[in-house]
Structure 1
Amino acid sequence: MEKGGNVTMITRIASTINKMVNSEITINEIELLIEQPKHAEQGDLALPCFRFARTMKLAPNQIAAQIASGFTCEGVIKVEAVGGYVNFFLDILTIAENVITEIITQGNHYGDSDAGQGRAITIDLSSPNIAKPFSMGHLRSTVIGNAIANMLEKNGYTPIRINHLGDWGTQFGKLITAYKRWGEENKVRQDPIRELHQLYVYFHQQAEIDESLEKEGRQWFKCLEDGDTEAVALWKWFREVSLEAFSRVYNLMGISFDSYHGEAFYNDKMRAVVEMLKNADLLEESEGAKVVRLDDEGLPPCLIMKSDGATLYATRDLAAAFYRQDHYAFAVSLYVVGNEQTLHFKQLIAVLNKLGVPWANDLVHIPFGMILKDGKKMSTRKGKVVLLEEVLEQSIQMAHNAIMEKNPSLHNRKQVAKQVGVGAVLFHDLKVFRQNDIEFSLEDMLRFEGETGPYVQYTHARACSILRKAAWNQEYPTSFTTFGKDERAVVKQLAAFPEEVEKAVKEWDPSKVAKYVIDLSQDFNHYYAHTSILQGVKEEEKAQRLALVHAVSIVIKESLRLLGMEAPEEM
Structure 2
Amino acid sequence: MERREIRESGVDAVYWRPVRDALAELVTELSPEDIEQLLDTPPDPSLGDVAFPTFRLAKERRRPPAEIARTIAEALSARGFSARADGGYVNVALPRTAAVRDILRETAAPDFARFSWGAGKRVVIDMSSPNIAKPFGVGHLRSTVIGQAIRNLLLRARYEVLRVNHIGDWGTQFGKLMAAYAMWGIPEGASDKIRAYLELYVRFHEEAERRPELEDEGRRWFKRLEDGDPQARKLWRMFVDESLKEFMRIYDRLGVSFEYILGESFYNDQIPGVLEEVRAKGLLEESEGAFVVRLGDDLPPALLLKSDGTTLYLTRDLATALYRKNVLGGDLLLYVVGREQSLHFEQLRGVLRRMGYPWADAIVHVPFGLLRFGGKKLSTRRGRVIFLEEVLDEAKARALQILEEKSPHLADKEGVAEAIGVGAVIFNDLRQSRLHDIDFDMEEALSFEGETGPYVQYTYARAKSLFRRAGAACEEALADVLPDVRAIAGDRGWELLKLVAAYPRAVRKGIELYEPSAVARHILDVAKAFNRYYQEERILVEDPEERRAKLALVARVARVLADGLDVLGLKVLEEI
Q: CA deviation at 1:20?
A: 3.5
- 1:527 shift after superposition: 0.4
One-letter code aligned to 2:493: E
2:223 and 2:442 map into 1 onto residues whose CA distance is: 42
Identity %: 45
CA distance in 1: counterparts of 2:350 and 2:26, whole angstroms = 41
Cα 1:301–1:395 change in 2 (3 A) is same
- Tell me the matched-pair count: 564
Q: Provide the rounded CA distance (Å) in 2 between the counterparts of 1:504 and 1:28.
A: 18
Q: Provide the C-alpha distance between the structure 1 equivalents of 2:377 and 2:313, rounded to a whole number of angstroms.
A: 22
Deviation at 1:356, TM superposition (A): 2.4
Letter of the structure 2 residue corresponding to residue 518 of structure 1: L
Query: In the superposition, relative to structure 1, how do residues 312 and 17 fare at CA in structure 2: closer, same or farther (>3 Å)?
Result: farther
1:69-88 mapped onto 2 (5 Å cutoff) = 69-71=74-76, 77-88=81-92
Distance across 1 between alignment mates of 2:192 and 2:202: 16
| Higher alpha-carbon deviation: 401-410 or 210-219 | 210-219
CA distance in 2, matches of 1:355, 1:299: 16
2:499 aligned with 1:493:
yes
1:484 maps to 2:484: no
| 1:322-361 mapped onto 2 (5 Å cutoff) | 322-361=322-361
Q: How far did 1:16 drift?
A: 5.0
Shift of residue 6, structure 1, vs aligned partner: 1.3
1:216 is matched with 217
**Hey, what does 1:89 align to over in structure 2?**
93
- In 1, Cα distance between equivalents of 2:115 and 2:491: 30
Structure 1 CA distance, aligned partners of 2:330 and 2:318?
Answer: 15
Q: Give a deviation string over 1:53-111, Cα, whole Å, max 9, x none.
A: 2333443234334433444999x9522232321112123332332323333352xx521
Q: Which moved more, 1:264-273 or 1:91-100?
A: 91-100
In 2, Cα distance between the equivalents of 1:105 and 1:21?
31
1:3-152 superposed matches below 5 A = 5-10=8-13, 12=17, 13-14=19-20, 16-23=22-29, 25-71=30-76, 77-106=81-110, 109-152=111-154
Matched residue type, 2:490:
G
Shift of 1:505: 1.0
Given candidates 501, 505, 508, the residue that maps to 1:502 is: 508
Q: Which residue of 1 aligns with 2:435?
A: 435
Contact 1:164/1:261 (<8 A) preserved: yes
Give, in whole Å, the separation in 2 of the partners of 1:227 and 1:268: 12
Question: AA paired with 1:98?
Answer: D
Give the letter for the 1:284 counterpart: E
2:106, 2:112 within 8 Å by CA — same for their partners in 1?
Answer: yes
AA aligned to 1:116 is: G
Rounded to whole Å, the distance in 2 between the matches of 1:493 and 1:471 is 27
Check whether the contact 1:163–1:262 (CA below 8 A) recurs between aligned residues: yes
1:102-501 correspondence to structure 2 within 5 Å: 102-106=106-110, 109-184=111-186, 186-188=188-190, 190-296=191-297, 298-473=298-473, 474-475=476-477, 476-479=480-483, 480-482=485-487, 483-501=489-507
By how many angstroms is 1:521 displaced? 0.3
Which residue of 543, 546, 552 maps to 2:557?
A: 552
CA distance in 2, matches of 1:510, 1:445: 17
Give, in whole Å, the separation in 1 of the partners of 2:22 and 2:300: 48
- The 3-state SS of whatever aligns with 2:557 is helix
- Alpha carbons of structure 1 residues 77 and 388: separation in structure 2 relative to 1, 3 Å: farther
User: Which residue of structure 2 lines up, in the alignment, with residue 526 of structure 1?
Assistant: 532
| AA matched with 1:86 | V
SS at 1:330 equivalent: coil
Q: Which amino acid aligns with 1:122?
A: V
Q: Distance in 1 between matches of 2:25 and 2:165?
A: 45
Q: 1:114 to 1:215 in 2, by over 3 A?
A: same
- Checking the alignment, whether the CA contact within 8 Å between 1:21 and 1:56 is kept in structure 2 is no
SS of aligned partner of 2:383? coil
Q: TM-score scaled by structure 2?
A: 0.93
Is the partner of 2:514 in helix, strand or coil?
A: coil
SS of residue matched to 1:352: helix
Deviation track 1:24-81 (CA, whole Å, cap 9, x = no partner) reads: x55444434222222111112211111122333443234334433444999x952223
Structure 1 range deviating more: 173-182 or 239-248: 173-182
Query: What is the CA-CA distance between 1:316 and the residue it aligns to?
Result: 1.2
- Give the gaps of 5 or more residues in structure 1: none
Q: Is the alpha carbon distance of 1:239 and 1:185 closer, same or farther for their aligned partners in structure 2, counting shifts above 3 Å?
A: farther
Secondary structure of 1:291's match? strand
Q: What is the Cα deviation at residue 236 of structure 1?
A: 1.0
Matched-pair contact (CA < 8 Å) for 2:448–2:458: no
Q: Is the 8 A contact 2:166 2:262 kept in 1?
A: yes
SS of the counterpart of 1:333? Answer: strand
RMSD of the alignment, in Å?
2.1
Could you give the per-residue CA deviations for residues 143-175 of structure 1, whole angstroms, max 9, x where no partner exists?
A: 111101100001111111111111101111111
Residues 30 and 137 of structure 1: CA distance in aligned 2, closer, same or farther (over 3 Å): farther
* Higher alpha-carbon deviation: 65-74 or 372-381: 65-74
**Shift in alpha-carbon separation, 1:527–1:339, aligned structure 2, 3 A:** same
Residues 10 and 34, structure 1, Cα contact 8 Å, conserved in 2: no
Give a deviation string over 1:239-282, Cα, whole Å, max 9, x none: 11101101111000100011111211111112222222222222
